[in-house]
Amino acid sequence: MTDIIRLDAKRAELHIEDLTDILCDVVDSGASVSFLPPLPRGDARAFWRKIIAEVADGTRILLAARIDGKLSGTVQLSYAGSPNQAHRGEVAKLLVHSRARRRGVARALMQRLEDEALLVGRSLLTLDTRAGDAAEPLYRSMGYQFVGLIPRYARNGDGGLDATAVFYKELGSPQPNDS
């Protein structure tokens, strides 16, 4: 059974090795998530420490999927920093470990992320993903609207340059937030 949990900074730090495992597995499997394979564990750990600091300062939400008590996936919601964009959030780093794929983990993470976004007053979500990646049909099936492609956006593990597909989704009415 998949359980989706919100990690505060303290819990995320306790799970940093699991988070590192997930990121290394995803990158080394060829995903385009800001890193090139092979991803050194130290680089992955440093990435998570930066994310944990943003969770601690309240500018990011970190969700994790647990299967049988083991972290198997994550997704993040980053808040737009501008006062005129307080209604907007950016979906980042939807990561599912290879051992947990094709089990609905990514969809469960995204559904929970949308719920969390509304709770903090974010009614517009944006994201990008490498064009043609496995996540693209998931986003479309969840109602994300395709905006377009940016060519030659990110380098891949073979040295080539891949396009990124940009999406957005308008959620239901946001609830008032305290921020």
Record the tokens describing residue 28, joined without a space: 């080394």
Per-residue pLDDT tens digits for 157-166:
999 999 999 9
CATH of 2-123, one of 3.40.630.30, 3.40.1350.10, 3.40.710.10, 3.40.50.720: 3.40.630.30
Closest CA to 95 of 10, 27, 1: 27
Q: For the residues 147-152, what does the mean pLDDT come to? A: 98
Please provide the average confidence, as pLDDT, over all residues in the chain: 95
**Omega cis (within 30) before 38:** yes
- DSSP H or E stretch at residue 170: strand 161-170
What are the tens digits of pLDDT across the range 43-78?
Answer: 999 999 999 999 999 999 999 999 999 999 999 999
Domain boundaries defined on the chain:
2-123
Q: Residue 121: what are its φ and ψ, rounded to 5°?
A: 80, 20
- Distances, alpha carbon 30 to alpha carbons 102, 146, 153, in Å: 17, 23, 16
Is residue 45 within a helix (H) or strand (E), and if so which, with residue range?
helix 41-56
Q: How far apart are CA 89 and CA 29, in angstroms?
A: 27
Q: What is the mean pLDDT of residues 34-43?
A: 97
- Tell me the mean pLDDT in the region 11-30: 98
* SS3 sequence of 6-41: EECHHHHHHCHHHHHHHHHHHHHCCCCCCCCCCCCH
What percentage of the chain reaches a pLDDT higher than 70? Answer: 96
Alpha helices in 61-144 (DSSP H): 105-119, 135-141
pLDDT value at position 46?
Answer: 99
How do 88-96 and 145-155 pair as beta strands? Answer: unpaired
Paired sense of beta strands 70-79 and 124-130, if any = unpaired
Q: pTM (2 decimals)?
A: 0.94
- Structure confidence at residue 177 as a pLDDT band (50, 70, 90): low
